[in-house]
Structure 1
Amino acid sequence: MSADIDGFLPDSSFLLDVEAEDWKGAIRLAGQGLVAAGFTTEAYTEEMIDTVEKMGPYIVIAPGMALAHSRPSDAVLHTGLSWVQLSVPVEFGSKRNDPVSLVIGLAGRDENEHIVVMSAIASALSNADKRAQLAAASTPDDIRAILKS
């Protein structure tokens, strides 16, 4: 992942060791991080939930990990990410990859930026060793360092 991870993943977009009642609550936490960082309005959070309701849990991209996102829209102010580590994993309905303990929120301002950021994060998460390191990381700086490595 490129050096601009710092801009795409500021401290304000992290929620670490938090609880969610269910998958919708987990996505709402990811949305909260995106809003706190100034990447989206609250409307985008509902768009992410609507996407899962319409398309199913395809956002659960690896064991224990979900990449919450929706299409670029007016609710996206800037391209960026949020990072939610759940203290208690939740079920999204993915037979293969539930339960989920890491939810990454992705907001892309346009299709190009959306795809660039999504590809970068997906390539970082496709490595099992990196996923394990990320799951164990406890600070935003540690997480960014792992993503950059």
Structure 2
Amino acid sequence: MRLRELPDDVFVLRAHARDWREAVRLAGEALVLGAVTTDAYAERMVQVVEEFGAYIVIAPGLALAHARPGPDVVRDGLAVVTLDEPVVFGHPHNDPVEVVLALAVTSNEGHMTVLAELANVFNDPSATRAIAQATTVAEIRAVLARAQPEP
């Protein structure tokens, strides 16, 4: 999976979420629309946070929702959700969150490449804010493309 080739269906801009659970579920819905997962995956992502806490808030304003590979993952994929108002996940330093990424992989090995690409994008501290303020999918793609040279 290449970040620059994500289908439009996995992008949701300026969504409203009442709380972190709803934000994660919105990201899960985008994965379903992108034919990446079934509906059950969103609930597993919520369960991860309920069980392990807000460690998925990996940088100021940015959450990386995910769950283990399972039968509800159809193929490797990523969804990007920007929120109209930030929500609190309970992280001591990186709350509130305005961008939720949802990662789904079919194998444990599959996520390493995607995580490396995401690290390249978000090593730039302005990336989260640029995605949060984007008004088009093209603007988000441009930020994500910073991590990948043209083929």
With normalisation by structure 2, the TM-score equals 0.91
- Whole-Å Cα distance in 2 between the matches of residues 92 and 131 of structure 1? 16
The alpha-carbon deviation at position 113 of structure 1 amounts to 1.4
2:43 is aligned with 1:46:
yes
The C-alpha deviation readout for 1:20-71, integer Å capped at 9, x for no partner, is 0100000000000000000000111111011111110000001011000011
2:98 is aligned with 1:101:
yes
Tell me what 2:88 maps to: 91
Tell me what 1:137 maps to: 134
Gaps (5+ residues) in structure 1? Answer: none
Select the residue among 21, 25, 40 that pairs with 1:28.
Answer: 25
**What is the percent sequence identity of the aligned residues?**
43
- Whole-Å Cα distance in 2 between the matches of residues 35 and 42 of structure 1? 6
The alpha-carbon deviation at position 131 of structure 1 amounts to 2.7
Select the residue among 13, 22, 25 that pairs with 1:16.
Answer: 13
The count of aligned residue pairs is 146
2:32 is aligned with 1:5:
no
| Residue identity matched to 1:5 | L
The alpha-carbon deviation at position 146 of structure 1 amounts to 1.5
CA contact (8 A) 1:72 1:114 kept: no
Select the residue among 45, 55, 62 that pairs with 2:59.
Answer: 62
Tell me what 2:116 maps to: 119
1:81 aligned counterpart, secondary structure: strand
CA RMSD of aligned residues (A): 1.3
Gaps (5+ residues) in structure 2? Answer: 147-151
With normalisation by structure 1, the TM-score equals 0.92
- Whole-Å Cα distance in 1 between the matches of residues 129 and 89 of structure 2? 20
2:143 is aligned with 1:146:
yes
The C-alpha deviation readout for 1:114-136, integer Å capped at 9, x for no partner, is 22112211321121132332222
| Residue identity matched to 2:68 | R
- Whole-Å Cα distance in 2 between the matches of residues 115 and 121 of structure 1? 10
Moved over 4 A (4+): none
